[in-house]
Structure 1
Amino acid sequence: MPPRTRKPRDTERVVPDDKVEILPPGRGLVLDWRVIAPTVAFGTVAGFVASFVVGGGGLLRHAIVGLLGMLVGQGLVRLTGWRVSTGKRLLDEGAMAVIGAILVVLLARFIA
């Protein structure tokens, strides 16, 4: 059985499957701790602040809720256009992360 090939828009050239790359050539998925560590720390702080508002406990729980809250907060900004405007970008991002974390906690309590 011959190998499958993909036909590009230019029908004169056929590209075999083993030559098709999703990531840029020669680069894999790189995890950089200089990017991940501040994000986890920021999410943990957002989860900790949200726990003061709606209750909860545990460092791991704060981190998970905060990270999910950051995603939910950014999703709210993109979907609705609502934004907290304090004049400082870090405070704006933090406020949206805390609002998202509060929504995540309330949704989890509603489901459970």
Structure 2
Amino acid sequence: MTTRQRKARSSGRTIEDDKVEILPPGRGLPLDWRRLAPTILLGTATGFVASLVVGGGGILRHAVVGLLGMLVGQGIVRATGWRIRTGRAFLDEAAMAVIGAILVVLLARFIA
């Protein structure tokens, strides 16, 4: 297999494909568990609350439904402007995530 040659932007020199990096040199894809873990925990908790309302079970299912519910809840907020105002930003986000998770479970049951 031959490698293609690419021209560098700043000069007339060419760079082989195996030397091209998409990310900045020496850096991998940043994955910060300190930011990701609370999102997963909140998603699991909202999935659990949604399963109490409409039924369901399993920790993995709670996490997936909760994370999808967080996305759906944020989509509802952005599309319609509806919000639940409790006075605390965390509770506002959690309430919209639970509503989104309930909608995800109901939609999944409707499709299946």
State the TM-score, normalized to the length of structure 1.
0.77
| Alpha-carbon spacing, 1:2–1:110, altered in 2? closer, same or farther (3 Å) | closer
Aligned equivalent of 2:99: 99
Aligned equivalent of 2:57: 57
Residue type at the aligned position of 2:56:
G
Q: Secondary structure at the match of 2:95?
A: helix
Distance apart, 1:81 and its partner CA? 4.2
Distance apart, 1:17 and its partner CA? 2.1
What are the ranges of 5 or more consecutive residues in structure 1 without an aligned counterpart?
none
Measure, in 2, the Cα distance between the counterparts of 1:39 and 1:59.
15
CA RMSD across the alignment = 2.5
Distance apart, 1:102 and its partner CA? 0.9
Residue type at the aligned position of 1:94:
A
Aligned equivalent of 2:77: 77
Measure, in 1, the Cα distance between the counterparts of 2:13 and 2:80.
44
| Alpha-carbon spacing, 1:33–1:2, altered in 2? closer, same or farther (3 Å) | closer
Distance apart, 1:94 and its partner CA? 0.9
C-alpha contact (below 8 Å) 2:3/2:16 kept by paired residues: yes
State the TM-score, normalized to the length of structure 2.
0.77
Measure, in 1, the Cα distance between the counterparts of 2:77 and 2:24.
30
Distance apart, 1:52 and its partner CA? 2.4
Measure, in 1, the Cα distance between the counterparts of 2:75 and 2:9.
35
Aligned equivalent of 1:39: 39
Deviations 1:38-60 (A, max 9, x none): 11110111111112221222322
C-alpha contact (below 8 Å) 1:69/1:98 kept by paired residues: yes
